[in-house]
């Protein structure tokens, strides 16, 4: 596993050759988008899948801090059967322990290539403004918690790589 961004990893997937022949289905790739609420994860995920029309992809979103583990596992299981790529944009992945649990689960279910797409912190005021315009606002306390818990990008890469080596 190299530390290529999630977008770079997508260029490795081929759904068919130039003559329209179908090739063997590649191993599923998972991209864990790391960032706070309103960091641009959802927009990036949608735009990425639109720009790679030859790839069967699924976006796993939602999953706030209180979501039960069974819920996100069920969504991942449903998406795995028909997807070349899973893009996981759940906010709880900010916690490296949650990311490790998610990566281990993906690894156990045949996803051998897990990548990170990191979204840098945005100023709290920008996040509060965006939150106030959103129908399902997360609120200032949650945004402050997310900002305080976001780590440097290398911490997330180290977490994912440790699962691949020891998971």
Q: What ranges do the domains of the chain cover?
A: 6-12+24-166
What pLDDT shows up at residue 35?
Answer: 95
Domain 6-12+24-166 has CATH 3.40.50.300: yes
DSSP state of 146: H
Please, is 151 exposed, middle or buried when counting C-beta atoms within 10 Å of its C-beta (0-12, 13-18, 19+)? Answer: middle
Largest CA distance in the chain: 54
Which tens digit of pLDDT belongs to each residue from 49-103? 999 888 889 999 876 556 667 788 888 899 988 889 999 998 888 999 989 999 9
- Report whether 71 contacts 63 (CB < 8 A): yes
**At residue 48, does pLDDT exceed 90?**
yes
Instruction: Name, in order, each residue with C-beta under 8 angstroms of 26's C-beta and a sequence gap of 6 or more.
Output: 12, 13, 14, 84
Whole-structure pTM value: 0.81
What pLDDT shows up at residue 19?
Answer: 46
- Report whether 143 contacts 37 (CB < 8 A): yes
Beta bridge partners of 88: 32, 60
Is residue 17 very low, low, confident or very high in pLDDT (cuts 50, 70, 90)? very low
Q: What is the separation of C-alpha 103 from the centre of its chain, rounded to a whole number of angstroms?
A: 10
Which stretches does DSSP call E strand in 64-149? 85-88, 113-118
CA-closest candidate to residue 11, choices 113, 82, 111: 113
CA-closest candidate to residue 42, choices 93, 87, 98: 87
């Amino acid at each position: 596993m190299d530390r290529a961004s999630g977008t770079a990893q997508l260029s490795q997937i081929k759904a068919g050759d130039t003559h329209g022949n179908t090739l063997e289905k590649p191993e599923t790739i998972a991209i864990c988008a790391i960032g706070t609420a309103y960091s641009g994860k959802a927009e990036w995920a949608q735009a990425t899948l639109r720009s790679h029309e030859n790839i069967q992809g699924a976006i796993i979103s939602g999953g706030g801090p209180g979501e039960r583990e069974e819920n996100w596992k069920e969504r991942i299981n449903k998406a795995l059967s028909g997807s070349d790529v899973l893009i996981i944009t759940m906010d709880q992945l900010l916690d490296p322990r949650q990311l490790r649990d998610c990566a281990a689960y993906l690894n156990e279910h045949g996803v051998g290539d897990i990548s990170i797409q990191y979204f840098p912190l945005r100023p709290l005021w920008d996040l509060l403004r965006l939150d106030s315009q959103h129908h399902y606002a997360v609120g200032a306390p949650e945004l402050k918690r997310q900002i305080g818990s976001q780590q440097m990008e290398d911490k997330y890469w180290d977490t994912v790589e440790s699962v691949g080596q020891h998971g």
